Amino acid sequence: MTASLVPARRRSAGQLLLLAPTLVVGALMLAPLFYLVLRALEADAATVTSLLLRPRTFELLVNTAALAAGVLVLATLIALPLAWLTTRTDLPGRRILNVLAVLPLAVPGYVMAYALIGLSGNYGFMNAVFGVTLPRPQGWLGATLALSLYTYPYLYLNLRAALSGLDQTLEESARALGCGPREVFTRVTLPHLMPAMMAGWLVIGLYTIGDFGAVALMRYEVFSYALYLAYSSAFDRLYAAWIALILVVIALAVVWWEARLREDIRLARTGSGSGVRPRLTALPPLACAAAYGFSGTVVLAALGLPVAVLSFWLLREPVWPVLPDLLRSFSQSLSAAAPAALLAVLLALPVAVLAVRFPSPISNFVNRLAFIGYAVPALAFALAFVFFALEAAPFLYQTQALLVLVYALAFLALALGPIRSALYQARPNLEDSARSLGYGPVGTFIHVVLPCIRRGVTAGLVLVFVVAMKELPIAFLLSPAGFRPLAIQLFSRTSEGMLIAAAPYAAAIIAFSGLTVAAVLRHEGRLE
């Protein structure tokens, strides 16, 4: 569409300029997976079958499925009513509720797990404050709780957007055809929410499959935990490689399956009339009370709990002795996250420009590839890079440069999203007029395109930066010696049962992650 405005000769020159870095990005995404397969195939068939065809593998599969199912169900049970309350009712205070509902994004799964664990036990919050020793939450229930309370906002944001975009006449039509409110919800509203629901489920599902911190702390044996064990306690590279491959296959299968399903339910709006703004349901007092009870419970569990437990642990011992360590960890986190954000944006720019301005099979393909880093579970992705570095790039092995590169690739999709939508909004004829005024392709990009997509670039930069700041699994596998970012410090202390020592790190992560939420709230519309 837009590309046709640019003369063919110039287009091919610009395309070539962009194609090289784009292909590099594609290769960087694929090469490590290639080495992962290579390493996995080193084993002879008998070893592989004896490793994989044992009851434990099946158990891991069942556990992984059970965890994903549990998290999806619980997250939906939390997110759907919350989204409905904040978009479709006149509940007083629904704006504040909206902010509170998204804030748990600032509490990563492993911090949530830390909080739940800190609640229980002999020294736990509940015993110290109320004299009740709760059993340590663990296994399926503990992992499901920790992950649902952290991930439900992804679904909430999607459902919220869909609910407020739902054409009210659809629901009114159904009522005119004789359906009561409940029937309207199940027959019209719910089907309409399905694409948003599935987009949210995809994000949460991928996160759950790939999560390692929460399941490790909750000692729930899913594939990613088994990968962690295979790597950390036995450094069993072969088994780790195979589990990583299984994880990659599961993740890609989930993505493929979701895409297929989405194909089936097309919800193109029919007609071009102005959709009526959804009307707010007036809640009777009793329903209002129930709504407050429900949302209060969610907010208390997802936000109040970690904050309370954390404050409790923080107050047990003075923080100042660990302050130098904390600062050092913080600056180490910073020293990986900041260059990673910069690199991610630099890599995303050519990929995005090529995809938006010069759509072609190749640019589309690389754009899909860019999501590999996002879809493939982090631990598996990082392991692939360990093999890649050992075999093909020993100079990168155990360096901060590799960690930064892997962060940039893993979070490339986060940078790509806002930059791409900014490019779609920027008018291509501005570029054409710059060219006609004598600017070359590079000059046009710097003077015209870049200022136009500044917001998108900043959004991508901030998102990648903040997510990388609290990243755990990749840091776990790829941190060079002496590199102890916040997440690692928190994780190693919590897994040693040293909850007091872990508290300052958890607090630092939560405080900093507040920025994530700010970024997410600001770019609510742009996040998928």
- Within 452-491, which residues bind another protein (CB under 8 A)? 454-455, 457-458, 461, 465, 479-484
Stretch that binds another protein, among 9-17, 131-139, 203-211, 285-293 (CB under 8 A): 131-139
Residue 333: CB minimum distance to another protein, A: 10
Residue 87: CB minimum distance to another protein, A: 19
- Out of 47, 232, 297, 364, the only residue in the binding site for another protein (CB under 8 A) is 232
CA distance 494 to 503: 9
- Left, alpha or beta for 245 (phi > 0: left; psi -120 to 50: alpha)? alpha
Closer to another protein at the Cβ: 368 or 484?
484
Contact pattern for another protein over residues 338 through 357, marking x by CB under 8 A: xx-xx---------------
**Residue 328 engages another protein in binding (rule: CB under 8 A):** no
Amino acid at 441: P
CB-based contact 127:121 (threshold 8 Å): yes
Q: Which residue, chain included where needed, has tokens 């409905």? A: 84
Segment 157 to 186, residues that bind another protein, using CB under 8 A: 167, 169-170, 172-181
- Out of 54, 95, 427, 447, the only residue in the binding site for another protein (CB under 8 A) is 54
- Out of 26, 108, 121, 485, the only residue in the binding site for another protein (CB under 8 A) is 121
CB atoms within 10 A of CB 522: 14
- Left, alpha or beta for 179 (phi > 0: left; psi -120 to 50: alpha)? beta
Identify the three-state secondary structure at position 527.
Answer: coil
**Residue 281 engages another protein in binding (rule: CB under 8 A):** no
The string of DSSP codes covering 202-247 is HHHHHHHHH--HHHHHTT---HHHHHHHHHHTS--HHHHHHHHHHH
CA torsion angle 66 71 77 80 (round to 10): -130
**Residue 9 engages another protein in binding (rule: CB under 8 A):** no
Identify the three-state secondary structure at position 312.
Answer: helix
Residue 353: CB minimum distance to another protein, A: 19
**Residue 135 engages another protein in binding (rule: CB under 8 A):** yes
Segment 372 to 391, residues that bind another protein, using CB under 8 A: 390
**Residue 191 engages another protein in binding (rule: CB under 8 A):** yes
Q: Which residues contact 151 (CB under 8 A, 6 or more apart)?
A: 71, 75, 109, 203, 204, 207, 208
**Residue 320 engages another protein in binding (rule: CB under 8 A):** no
Closer to another protein at the Cβ: 201 or 476?
476
Closer to another protein at the Cβ: 89 or 495?
495
**Residue 236 engages another protein in binding (rule: CB under 8 A):** yes
Q: Which residues contact 385 (CB under 8 A, 6 or more apart)?
A: 32, 402, 405, 406, 477, 478
Closer to another protein at the Cβ: 123 or 371?
123
Helix axes of 499-522 and 109-119: crossing angle, nearest 10 degrees? 140
Contact pattern for another protein over residues 57 through 96, marking x by CB under 8 A: ----------------------------------------
- Out of 123, 140, 294, 371, the only residue in the binding site for another protein (CB under 8 A) is 123
Length of the chain: 528
Burial (0-12, 13-18, 19+ Cβ within 10 Å), 279: exposed
Secondary element (H or E) of residue 422: helix 412-425
* Closest-CA residue to 493 (of 114, 125, 73): 114
Amino acid at 61: L
Residue 15: CB minimum distance to another protein, A: 28
- Out of 23, 229, 283, 288, the only residue in the binding site for another protein (CB under 8 A) is 229
Identify the three-state secondary structure at position 106.
Answer: helix
**Residue 48 engages another protein in binding (rule: CB under 8 A):** no
**Residue 213 engages another protein in binding (rule: CB under 8 A):** no
Residue 117: CB minimum distance to another protein, A: 9
CA distances from 387 to 40, 51, 59, 391, 401 (A): 10, 20, 27, 6, 16
* Closest-CA residue to 110 (of 464, 496, 491, 508): 491
Closer to another protein at the Cβ: 39 or 435?
39
**Residue 192 engages another protein in binding (rule: CB under 8 A):** yes
**Residue 47 engages another protein in binding (rule: CB under 8 A):** no
Stretch that binds another protein, among 207-215, 302-310, 396-404, 440-448 (CB under 8 A): 396-404
Q: Which residues contact 90 (CB under 8 A, 6 or more apart)?
A: 280, 281, 282, 283
Closer to another protein at the Cβ: 291 or 462?
462
Residue 441: CB minimum distance to another protein, A: 23
**Residue 398 engages another protein in binding (rule: CB under 8 A):** yes
**Residue 318 engages another protein in binding (rule: CB under 8 A):** no
- Size of residue set near another protein by CB under 8 A: 87
- Out of 9, 16, 45, 270, the only residue in the binding site for another protein (CB under 8 A) is 270
397 φ, ψ (degrees, to nearest 5): -60, 130
**Residue 53 engages another protein in binding (rule: CB under 8 A):** no
